[in-house]
Amino acid sequence: MKKGIVSCVAIFLVLFLGELLVTEAQTCNVNELITPCIGTFLFSSPPTSACCRKLSVQQPCLCEYIKNPDYAQYLSPCLISRVLTTCTIPIPKCIEKCPPPPMI
């Protein structure tokens, strides 16, 4: 009986966690970056922790964003590369690593 309960709990956890992962699967929505990252992308200000968290979640979508001409003027590969580096988020292969900005 105890083995049956453990098996049922294990099956429930697998199903529940699988459902949770599917629910949390990222849908690409550039609008979700606007609020936490607007200062970073428009004014090149340092990213906030909220911006870094959102970029981390949206990291799989960044290649799609930079290829979209509607976003290209705001989301340049170099800017994204620098912001991801600042946030210690891995840079996707589609985004070139750019040199740091010149020191003035």
Do the domain assignments include residue 6?
A: no
Report pLDDT digits (tens) over 44-67. 899 999 999 999 999 999 999 988
Instruction: Give the residue numbers spanning the domain of 81.
Output: 31-86
Residues 79, 95: contact at Cβ < 8 Å? no
Residue 9 falls inside a structural domain: no
| Residue corresponding to tokens 């991801």 | 84
pTM: 0.66
- 42: in domain: yes
Residue type, 41: F
Q: In CATH, what number is assigned to the domain containing residue 59?
A: 1.10.110.10
55 found inside a domain: yes
74 is a domain residue: yes
Burial class (CB in 10 A: 0-12, 13-18, 19+), 24: exposed
% pLDDT > 90, the chain: 41
- Tally of structural domains, the chain: 1
Counting Cα atoms < 13 Å in the Cβ hemisphere of 9 gives: 6
Evaluate whether residue 62 is within a structural domain: yes
